[in-house]
């Protein structure tokens, strides 16, 4: 269940009807494993009555823990899946006017296990053919009926069945070899073209490497290489929706797949996105739409950006479907690819991403380091532009050290020689007391709650640079900028916060960015005040961490932990 096994305990009491088992049972009356398995499965869903809402794919997923998908049958698919640790179930088509049995002995609308493949060379026994040496290669598929030995049978009786004349065209050695491979009751061979004609869908259950190691019956098949991640979509942070939402889809969680050069042929890759679900009393109509998009990217590109989404078409995508899990099979050449799992825009929820590959491929989540450039404002702001009269008035009107309240008065004063917008500060618009406390802490390493008056101009320059970055990048990345008389009333989509941080000279990891959005945004929007608080807290956390790291021999905290603690302080 959602990537983990669930233990179900049942007793040996089975429901009966007229002194016979009421539900699934074996032909032999002293064998009860099938009935007990069904009882445990029914308990998982809340009762026998809820099993009628199930499907073959859901049962395969629940009982095997595999990545399950349904595809139309094809010969290349059989050749690629059968040698792997993948279980295959083929479903016959429906015959009109027949209740169960169809032409050739197959059962209508019933699953058959695909257990093997073979290629044989047949020769015509006629004298003319023998003299000419004509021969044909025939591809065969081996299947097993679920009703073998039972009332319905369901065993194929057409070409290449057990007593068909086609076996006479094989050599004795080939006949013995294929007969030895078909030792289980109910197994039979049929030609691949006949199979493609009579079966309409194939269910693939890709077994992960952990479960493959626990099942000896699969050790003859090559295992998959697997990578999985449990993440969540958060509204305003990374619930960007499908690729049609150009401005926000790049905020979805991104996972990179790198297929290295030197591999023989293309890499077969299975991408599966499952949403959080509960088996108990589910009827299949509780699922929300989910999907994913995959882009091919240049090797030096760190992440998919809104600009890249706008300019490039995705390599492929799984459309939004209200399913428990969405699965797609790819054949990827050497290169770099980025997978973006998504749901509908702004929809929150947890998801499980599983990526399987048949050869070596590097898979990792796209993430940034936590970095800040402390002197970036000095590179863009000329300190000579600071009005000397402003410094002189600060020294004459305020004491050598000021507190957060006095800093707020200075920043809200019309005497601050910045831009016209800063001259419009009033008691309503302008930096709050909390922001002033955070700015003061940047220049207060002694933790005394005081700031020297000579440090105010540098803080003003830093504020000016951050405000310019907010004004410059907000409209271009979010498209939701609402201009009013004061920039302090401006609101920008919180999905654009990563770009705003970068414009202000900082980068944040996914976890830190999520915490910033949760802390300083509201209704999927962030104001200038929230942006400035984010920048101030990031700088403060970096300063405190490096100060602690220099003093302590062994720092018990990581930089990310320090940032998360500072954000919520």
The tokens describing 223, both together, are: 């295992």
Determine what percent of the chain is predicted with pLDDT higher than 70.
Answer: 85
With H, G, I as helix, E, B as strand and everything else as coil, classify residue 439. helix
| Residue given tokens 């094809």 in the structure block | 74
The tokens describing 98, both together, are: 């027949």
With H, G, I as helix, E, B as strand and everything else as coil, classify residue 32. coil
> Residue 473 above 70 pLDDT?
yes
The tokens describing 163, both together, are: 């007593």
> Residue 89 above 90 pLDDT?
yes
> Residue 544 above 80 pLDDT?
yes
Catalytic residue among 110, 206, 245, 539: 110
Q: For the chain, what are the domain ranges?
A: 1-53, 73-121+136-198, 224-278+288-366, 376-417+426-476+483-568
Distance of CA 155 to the CA centre of its chain: 41
Band of residue 424 on the pLDDT scale cut at 50, 70, 90: very low
Find the distance separating the first CA and the last CA of the chain, reported in whole Å: 37
- Residue 110 annotated in active site: yes
pLDDT tens for each residue of 150-189:
556 688 888 998 888 888 888 888 888 887 776 678 889 9
The secondary structure of residue 534, as a DSSP letter, is H
Mean of the pLDDT values across residues 462-485?
65
C-beta of residue 252 within 8 angstroms of C-beta of residue 245: no
The tokens describing 48, both together, are: 């026998």
CA distance 404 to 103: 88
C-beta of residue 240 within 8 angstroms of C-beta of residue 478: no
> Residue 482 above 80 pLDDT?
no
- Among 4-8, 385-389, 479-483, the range scoring the smallest mean pLDDT is 479-483
Mean of the pLDDT values across residues 281-290?
67
Beta strands in 26-162 (DSSP E): 67-71, 86-92, 111-123, 135-144
Mean of the pLDDT values across residues 342-346?
95
C-beta of residue 162 within 8 angstroms of C-beta of residue 188: yes
Mean of the pLDDT values across residues 517-531?
93
CA distances from 411 to 389, 390, 418 (A): 15, 12, 10
CATH number of 224-278+288-366: 2.60.120.380
Band of residue 255 on the pLDDT scale cut at 50, 70, 90: very high
Q: What is the dihedral of CA 303, 308, 313, 318, to 10 degrees?
A: 40
CATH number of 376-417+426-476+483-568: 1.10.238.10
pTM (2 decimals)?
Answer: 0.85
> Residue 378 above 80 pLDDT?
no
Top pLDDT among 552 and 1 is at: 1
pLDDT for residue 282: 52
CATH number of 73-121+136-198: 3.90.70.10
| Residue given tokens 């068909």 in the structure block | 164
pLDDT for residue 422: 41
Instruction: Please list the residues that pair with 136 across neighbouring strands.
Output: 122
């Amino acid at each position: 269940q959602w990537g983990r096994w669930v233990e179900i305990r049942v007793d040996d009491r089975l429901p009966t009807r007229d002194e016979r088992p009421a539900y699934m049972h074996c032909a032999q009356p002293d064998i009860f494993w099938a009935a007990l398995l069904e009882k445990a499965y029914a308990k998982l869903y809340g009762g026998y009555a809820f099993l009628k809402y199930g499907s073959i794919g859901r049962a395969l997923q629940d009982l095997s823990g595999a990545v399950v998908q349904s595809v139309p049958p094809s010969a290349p698919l059989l050749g690629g899946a059968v040698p792997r640790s993948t279980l295959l179930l083929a479903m016959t088509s429906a015959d009109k006017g027949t209740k169960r049995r169809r032409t050739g002995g197959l059962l209508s609308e019933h699953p058959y296990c695909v257990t093997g493949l073979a290629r044989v060379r047949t020769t015509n026994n006629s004298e003319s053919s023998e003299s000419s040496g004509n021969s044909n290669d025939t591809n065969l598929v081996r299947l097993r009926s679920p009703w073998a030995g039972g009332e319905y049978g369901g065993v194929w009786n057409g070409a290449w069945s057990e007593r068909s004349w086609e076996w006479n065209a094989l050599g004795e050695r080939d006949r013995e070899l294929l007969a030895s491979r078909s030792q289980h009751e109910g197994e039979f061979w049929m030609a691949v073209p006949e199979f493609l004609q009579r079966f309409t869908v194939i269910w693939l259950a890709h077994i992960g490497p952990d479960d493959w190691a626990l099942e000896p019956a699969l050790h003859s098949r090559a295992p998959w290489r697997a990578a999985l991640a449990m993440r969540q979509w958060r509204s305003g942070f990374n619930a960007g929706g499908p690729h049609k939402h150009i401005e926000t889809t790049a905020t979805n969680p991104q996972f990179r797949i790198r297929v290295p050069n030197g591999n023989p042929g293309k890499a077969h890759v299975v991408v599966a996105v499952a949403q959080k679900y509960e088996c108990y009393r589910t009827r299949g109509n509780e699922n929300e739409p989910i999907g994913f998009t995959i882009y091919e990217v240049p090797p030096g590109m760190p992440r998919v950006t809104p600009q890249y989404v706008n300019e490039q078409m995705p390599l492929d995508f799984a459309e939004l479907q209200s399913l428990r899990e969405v699965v797609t099979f790819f054949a990827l050449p050497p290169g770099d690819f980025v997978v973006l799992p998504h749901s509908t825009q702004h929809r929150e929820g947890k998801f499980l991403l599983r990526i399987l590959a048949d050869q070596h491929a590097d898979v990792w989540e796209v993430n940034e380091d936590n970095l800040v450039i402390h002197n970036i404002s000095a590179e863009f702001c000329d300190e000579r532009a600071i009005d000397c009269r402003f410094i002189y008035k600060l020294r004459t009107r305020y004491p050598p050290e000021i507190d957060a309240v006095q800093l707020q008065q200075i920043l809200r004063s019309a005497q601050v020689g910045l831009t016209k917008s800063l001259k419009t500060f009033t008691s309503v618009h302008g930096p709050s007391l909390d922001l002033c406390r955070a700015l003061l802490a940047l220049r207060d390493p002694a933790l005394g709650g005081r700031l020297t008056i000579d440090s105010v101009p540098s803080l003003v320059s830093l504020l000016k640079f951050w405000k310019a970055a907010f004004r410059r990048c907000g409209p271009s990345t979010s498209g939701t900028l609402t201009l009013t008389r004061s920039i302090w009333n401006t609101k920008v989509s919180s999905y654009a916060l990563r770009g705003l941080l970068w414009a202000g000279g900082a980068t944040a990891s996914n976890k830190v960015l999520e915490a910033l959005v949760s802390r300083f945004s509201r209704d999927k929007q962030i104001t200038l005040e929230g942006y400035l608080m984010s920048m101030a807290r990031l700088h403060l956390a970096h300063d405190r961490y490096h100060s602690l790291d220099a003093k302590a021999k062994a720092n018990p905290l990581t930089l990310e932990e320090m940032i998360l603690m500072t954000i919520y302080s």
